[in-house]
């Protein structure tokens, strides 16, 4: 089951996207609908809200006056915290019940406004953020929901800004245009990423780039991609992972690289990485194990053993290298990354090598092999830079 978090600022059009995904076959769990359900008449959370906030946030029929409650909590952080303390346990219990009822082969979309604010991105295989300019969101809230400009602005100000949302987004869905354009983009994302990712996840298939070598200019999004992958791996493995680090050229600002995120997982012993629960935890999070012997060419003339996982996400190819903490391979990966980060001449030298090899029309496997002599030649320079 592919778990997708769908979020966006108030007035962004997130609900429209949720409806479009539902029409395509996704099972949508609407956090706002769940939040309303747990405060219906007779529910324990409703009594607790009355006790904390009084009759002023209820209508004459005794139902919760949500706009009135919103005016209280969205301008008072302590009041908002109190409300969340009442409602969140009930919301999460009901959400878990709904998600557990979803078929195992489905795509489930959690329509959740506060994914960024609550730092929940690692709970999902992917996070889609619906992005709309603040001025447009403000106008929509006044025009379509009847809010005053002041109330609308206070709601917007209480949420995360676009910088934080972009950092959390695996997919940024621009909604500043027409509904037709938005619908077309949702359909494209469904066909090109969500459905294939779900199929790969179900069958334990990793996404791969074409074997033809392509070296990309540095991309600003690589750092954020690495952070999201590291967070998901940490969430999946917990204490079974001693360290999790973004490594390789995409972890070096300004470095040319293949568009692949490399992540190193440090374990106490490789036998830990062979445990069924370790392999299953990564597979469930979208990182299937690649069977067979895996190792690196040791710079000391020996083979450095590791375990290898790929990513099932066709939109973000990633390689996971599992190595024993403080083993030669584990230290080399970190030392080499840090050397490149700190030495501009080394970055130029490595970039020149990449460009020269790319010009030969090599495959990716040939490219990896062709770099080995250079790695051997800089081994002492990398080692002398290492603080260890």
Is pLDDT of 386 > 70?
A: no
Q: Which residues are within 8 A (CB) of 89 and not within 5 positions of it... i.e. 6 or more apart?
A: none
Clarify whether residues 179 and 78 are in a common domain.
yes
- Tell me whether residue 204 is annotated as binding: no
Beta bridge partners of 4: 109, 126
Position 338 scores a pLDDT of 95
Position 166 scores a pLDDT of 94
44-72: average pLDDT:
90
d(CA 131, CA 165): 8
272-298: average pLDDT:
93
| 330 three-state secondary structure | helix
Beta bridge partners of 246: 263
Residue at 337 is within a domain? yes
Residue at 210 is within a domain? no
Is pLDDT of 219 > 90?
A: yes
CATH code for the domain of 17: 3.40.50.300
Is pLDDT of 362 > 60?
A: yes
CATH code for the domain of 361: 3.30.460.10
172-182: average pLDDT:
93
Q: Among 139, 168, 203, which residue terminates a domain?
A: 203
Burial label, 349 (beta-carbon count in 10 A; 0-12, 13-18, 19+): middle
Clarify whether residues 190 and 304 are in a common domain.
no
Residue at 26 is within a domain? yes
Residue at 266 is within a domain? yes
Clarify whether residues 154 and 228 are in a common domain.
no
Q: How far is CA 151 from the centre of its chain?
A: 31
Clarify whether residues 197 and 239 are in a common domain.
no
Q: Among 203, 234, 263, which residue terminates a domain?
A: 203
Instruction: Place 387 in a pLDDT band, splitting at 50, 70 and 90.
Output: low
d(CA 27, CA 18): 9
Is pLDDT of 388 > 60?
A: no
Q: How many domains does the chain have?
A: 2
What tokens does 51 get?
Answer: 């006790």
Angle at 130 between CA 127 and CA 135, to 5 degrees: 145
d(CA 379, CA 388): 14
Instruction: Place 130 in a pLDDT band, splitting at 50, 70 and 90.
Output: very high
Please, are residues 110 and 3 in contact by the beta-carbon 8 Å criterion? Answer: yes
Clarify whether residues 156 and 114 are in a common domain.
yes
287-316 residue pLDDT tens: 999 988 789 888 777 899 999 999 999 999
- Tell me whether residue 302 is annotated as binding: no
Q: Among 174, 203, 232, which residue terminates a domain?
A: 203
Domain with 340 in it: 221-385
Clarify whether residues 168 and 229 are in a common domain.
no
13-53 residue pLDDT tens: 899 999 999 999 999 999 999 988 998 888 899 999 999 99
94-124 residue pLDDT tens: 999 999 999 999 999 999 999 999 999 999 9
258-281: average pLDDT:
97
Name the H helices within the chain: 14-24, 31-37, 44-53, 66-73, 77-100, 134-145, 149-157, 162-168, 179-189, 195-203, 221-237, 270-274, 276-284, 328-342, 344-358, 364-370, 372-377, 379-385
Instruction: Place 212 in a pLDDT band, splitting at 50, 70 and 90.
Output: confident
247-274: average pLDDT:
96
d(CA 329, CA 332): 5
What tokens does 282 get?
Answer: 């990564």
Specify the DSSP element, H or E, that contains 286: none
Clarify whether residues 138 and 199 are in a common domain.
yes
Position 380 scores a pLDDT of 85
Clarify whether residues 175 and 34 are in a common domain.
yes
Clarify whether residues 250 and 191 are in a common domain.
no
Beta bridge partners of 264: 245, 321
Residue at 212 is within a domain? no
Residue at 209 is within a domain? no
- Tell me whether residue 85 is annotated as binding: no
The top-scoring range by mean pLDDT among 7-21, 89-103, 268-282 is 268-282
Clarify whether residues 161 and 235 are in a common domain.
no
d(CA 11, CA 72): 19
Closest CA to 49 of 88, 100, 8, 7: 88
DSSP conformational letter for 123: G
Residue at 214 is within a domain? no
- Tell me whether residue 243 is annotated as binding: no
324-346 residue pLDDT tens: 999 999 999 999 999 999 999 99
Instruction: Place 208 in a pLDDT band, splitting at 50, 70 and 90.
Output: confident
Clarify whether residues 180 and 231 are in a common domain.
no
Clarify whether residues 174 and 248 are in a common domain.
no
Q: What is the mean pLDDT of the chain?
A: 92
Residue at 213 is within a domain? no
161-186: average pLDDT:
94
- Tell me whether residue 311 is annotated as binding: no
- Tell me whether residue 19 is annotated as binding: no
């Amino acid at each position: 089951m592919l778990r997708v978090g769908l979020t966006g600022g108030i007035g962004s059009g997130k609900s429209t996207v949720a409806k479009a995904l539902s029409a395509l076959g996704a099972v949508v769990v609407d956090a706002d609908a769940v939040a309303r359900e747990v405060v219906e008449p007779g529910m324990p959370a409703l009594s607790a809200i009355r006790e904390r906030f009084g009759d002023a946030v209820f209508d004459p029929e005794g139902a919760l006056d949500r706009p009135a409650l919103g005016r209280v909590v969205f301008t008072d952080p302590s009041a908002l915290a109190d409300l969340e303390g009442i409602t969140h346990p009930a919301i999460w219990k009901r959400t878990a019940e709904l998600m557990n009822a979803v078929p195992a082969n489905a795509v489930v979309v959690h329509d959740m406004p506060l994914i960024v604010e609550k730092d929940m991105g690692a709970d999902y295989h992917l996070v889609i953020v619906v992005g709309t300019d603040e001025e447009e969101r403000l106008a929509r809230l006044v025009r379509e929901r009847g809010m005053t400009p002041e109330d609308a602005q206070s709601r917007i100000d209480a949420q995360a800004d676009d910088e934080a949302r972009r950092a959390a987004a695996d997919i940024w869905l621009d909604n500043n245009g027409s509904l037709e354009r938005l619908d077309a983009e949702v359909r494209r994302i469904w066909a090109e990423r969500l459905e294939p990712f779900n199929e790969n996840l179900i069958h334990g298939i990793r996404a791969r780039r074409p074997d033809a070598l392509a070296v990309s200019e540095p991309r600003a999004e690589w750092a954020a991609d690495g952070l999201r992958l590291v967070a998901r791996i940490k969430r999946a493995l917990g204490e079974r992972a001693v360290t999790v680090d973004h490594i390789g050229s995409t972890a070096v600002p300004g470095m040319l690289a293949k568009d692949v995120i490399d992540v190193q997982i440090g374990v106490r012993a490789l036998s830990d990485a062979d445990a069924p629960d370790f392999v299953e935890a990564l597979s469930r999070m979208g990182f299937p194990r690649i069977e067979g012997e895996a190792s690196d060419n040791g710079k000391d003339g020996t083979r450095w053993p590791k375990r290898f996982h790929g990513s099932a996400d066709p939109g973000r190819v990633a390689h996971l290298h599992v190595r024993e903490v403080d083993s030669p391979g584990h230290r080399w990966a970190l030392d080499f990354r840090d050397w490149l980060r700190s030495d501009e001449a080394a970055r130029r030298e490595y970039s020149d090598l990449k460009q020269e090899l790319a010009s030969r029309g090599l495959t990716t496997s040939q490219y990896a092999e062709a770099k080995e002599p250079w790695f051997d030649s800089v081994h002492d320079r990398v080692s002398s830079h290492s603080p260890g």
